[in-house]
Chains A and B, each alone.
Chain A
Amino acid sequence: MKQYLKVAFTLFAICAVASILLAAINQITAPRIAYNTQQATIATLEAVSGGYEQGEQRPGNGENVNYVVPLYDGQEIAGYILELTTSGYGGEIVMATSYDTQGAVIASKIMSDSETPGLGKNAEESWYMDMFTGLGSDRPLPESKNDLADPSLVSGASVTFNGVSSAIRAGSEYVRSLGGR
């Protein structure tokens, strides 16, 4: 019995010291991480705003659209920025995509992901998102990599591409359902 208690206490002590150490480091890093995340979100929304003025943030559809930011050209609504959530190869992908009122993509940028470096992580590059720019209204958005002019650009990362593409298509439909309001 004494032996079991000794073993249990030793493991408990190691876990307790580890928890205290992690709590202390979390205390130091958490505010900094929150600040970084906030700054990154502001920068991303600005980058995809297409030069339009950003309006008041509205709630999304509770599914894959987290929130909506209307874009104003003077008093007129010129488009929307949507924060979209989708699934990639390494888990959840959060992205900001702006559309005109007809559902055509103005710009798009990944906010967070856990994709494979060198493969799925290429979705963070501007050339990757440029493949969707201008599509979604008169010209359809790609449903698979075979709809691209050069499918080899996304070789080895089809799951990431399908996730990003389906989120952008869903966002385009959502924007059209808003009817410019």
Chain B
Amino acid sequence: MSHMKELTKGIFKENPTFIIMLGMCPTLGVTTQVFNAFGMGASVMFVLLGSNIFISALRKIIPDSIRIPAYIVVIASFVTIVEMVLHAFVPAVFNALGVYLPLIVVNCIILGRAEAFANKNTVLDSALDAIGMGIGFTLALSLIAAIREIFGAGTITLFNLSETQRLVITIPGLSESPVRVLTLAAGALLVMGYLKAFFTWKTEHRKNTEGGKA
């Protein structure tokens, strides 16, 4: 597979959220505001990139019998680095992400890509895979968050560090009478279900079209 395909496959064809269905906990939990989706996506992309590069570079050194604990150590270290750096230099983002930041350690996308890709491929391909998967994850989170926030609260929060550092677009009509259930846990499952159905239909449709041409 070409380098470009490694980069782009995570965005649609193997999207971690809608196709591979990994990392569902932060996907459902953090998508109440668009800004949270950006923050979570960026943090996951950094950890994914760092862990994929390290695991790929060490793939011939790490014995097969201890690969999972070794991957966990690498991933947990990167998450701790992100936590410490954000807490020290961007405390507002650290506070905004709250409990979801340490939970990146158990995000299945990161361990999944380490196990399924990085330990079998070169450093360059693993880095491209991480960037592609990170972009795919961020876009998926942003799409779910946008739907939930627009219809559930009538707003789009693009930037939210504090009450004085905030950029929120208010949608007239929806903000006065929003579909409040969409901001709750049930709403997250509903939106995720409909989007998953759409992406499954789209994938099947493409397969059928390609099959028809052949």
A116 x B98 contact (CB < 8 A): yes
With both chains docked as a complex, state the minimum distance between the C-beta of B86 and any C-beta of chain A, in angstroms.
9
Q: B interface, how many residues as a size bin?
A: 35 or more
Taken together as a complex, chains A and B put the C-alpha atoms of A127 and B139 apart, in Å, by 31
Knowing A29-B84, A117-B96, say if A10 contacts B62 (CB, 8 Å): yes
A121 x B98 contact (CB < 8 A): yes
A7 x B63 contact (CB < 8 A): yes
**Interface SS majority for chain B:** helix
**Interface SS majority for chain A:** helix
Closest B residue to A118 using CB positions:
B32
Knowing A18-B73, A33-B88, say if A155 contacts B32 (CB, 8 Å): no
A11 contacts the other chain (CB 8 A):
yes
Q: Tally chain A residues at the interface, Cβ within 8 Å.
A: 35
A100 contacts the other chain (CB 8 A):
no
- Using a CB–CB cutoff of 8 Å, the interface residues on chain A facing chain B are 6-7, 10-11, 14-15, 18, 21-22, 25-26, 28-30, 32-33, 36, 40, 90-91, 112-119, 121, 124-126, 152, 155-156
- Using a CB–CB cutoff of 8 Å, the interface residues on chain B facing chain A are 29-30, 32-33, 36, 58, 61-63, 65-66, 69-70, 73-74, 76-77, 80-81, 84-85, 87-89, 91, 95-100, 149, 163, 180, 183-185
